[in-house]
Structure 1
């Protein structure tokens, strides 16, 4: 009985946290939907270069509702000792676990085509830097955010802007991100030590890849533990009466 009570409490606390998290996310989504003007102002101040995201509210509402459902199933299934709710909770966790494992397998299976992806990314990046940067607001905003956050210049380096639309329209000067004084400058004043965004992104991935993988494994372990606990409770219900 002592072990059974501990499992019930663990299940309740674990899913209670999920329930409260879902409630918070749902509340944020509803607030974003009802008071979109205030949210837009906050988003604009926090990330001025990032285009507005009109569907974020719906995403938060959907995610919050899903977390609420999962938390409710787990909490009620444990405390009411309902086999039906525990089975539904187990199935939901199993589906999530299978989706995550499938995603990991797909990523590993297609890692061999990474070079092809980089080639396509390179073509897109150089095209947008040459033709769209300084001309199209969305392209300019994306690149400004990228170069500002990664502290980089161009895709490979500053030469990606040579003879570009921006270069010609700004009296043969390069963007401020490529210059030491954060002001548009000619090639003679370029910060030659400023690396391209591709290199910076690769460094970022190498430094944070293990963290992302650890978080991914941690989530999978929690889901597996939740399934084990839910099935243990399911099997114990009826034998502890």
Structure 2
């Protein structure tokens, strides 16, 4: 296999992986939008949530758009290399270049506006506390969504168990907290039980911890994707040049 054949094979394999990744991301995006009980839908229904957060919960649409874009890129790269189509390879190059520029711009925006994210989550916290104290134990939808979230993430309240104080659940259950706040205890979860039980963090600190602990992984993956995009653009241009020289 010559250099030209090797480049074609690498282009096919690489873009085949991109195509499969796009299909996976598209599936996740559709699942997020269809699953009305997802955490994103839940947070979007919190009364008083900051307006900025309404954009964040549209992550399902973002995943769908990203998946479709990756499917198109993978298709153009694979078939452009197999059929030695300069048009498809050039279109592949243009799309990947646009994605690369968008990624750089997005990284800059995140760095510049990161302090605003803390303010947004502070507003969300106030709205979530109001939601708990007003509807938890009275509104079946709110109660079910909070219970599902706490059970899944193994957390208690937005910040801690005291968030449930004076809520309908707390009042109707003789000053007791939800059982998720007292893991491993068979008895009822009152204040003393919650204090003696293994400490359960709030859902918000749990989510922030998950994000912070995976920041380095996200950055590494982002840099790796950027390098692969540069290599893909370089290979597509080399193939275009080779195809043109062969045609001449």
The answer to whether structure 1 residue 186 and structure 2 residue 190 are counterparts is: yes
Correspondent of 1:234 among 232, 235, 240: 240
Deviation at 1:157, TM superposition (A): 1.6
| 1:216 counterpart residue number | 222
**C-alpha separation in 2, matches of 1:198 and 1:82:** 50
CA contact (8 A) 2:176 2:191 kept: yes
CA contact (8 A) 1:50 1:145 kept: no
Deviation at 1:117, TM superposition (A): 1.6
Secondary structure, counterpart of 2:174 in structure 1: coil
Q: Which runs of 5+ in 2 are unaligned?
A: 42-57
TM-score (norm 1): 0.76
The answer to whether structure 1 residue 159 and structure 2 residue 162 are counterparts is: yes
Secondary structure, counterpart of 2:245 in structure 1: coil
| 2:51 counterpart residue number | none
CA contact (8 A) 2:12 2:81 kept: yes
Aligned residues: 225
| 2:152 counterpart residue number | 149
| 1:170 counterpart residue number | 173
CA contact (8 A) 2:137 2:167 kept: no
Gap change, CA 1:129 and 1:93, over 3 Å in 2: same
CA contact (8 A) 1:4 1:236 kept: yes
**C-alpha separation in 2, matches of 1:103 and 1:69:** 21
| 2:11 counterpart residue number | 11
Structure 1 stretch displaced more, 206-215 or 140-149: 140-149
CA contact (8 A) 1:50 1:141 kept: no
Deviation at 1:190, TM superposition (A): 1.5
CA contact (8 A) 1:90 1:230 kept: yes
| 1:36 counterpart residue number | none
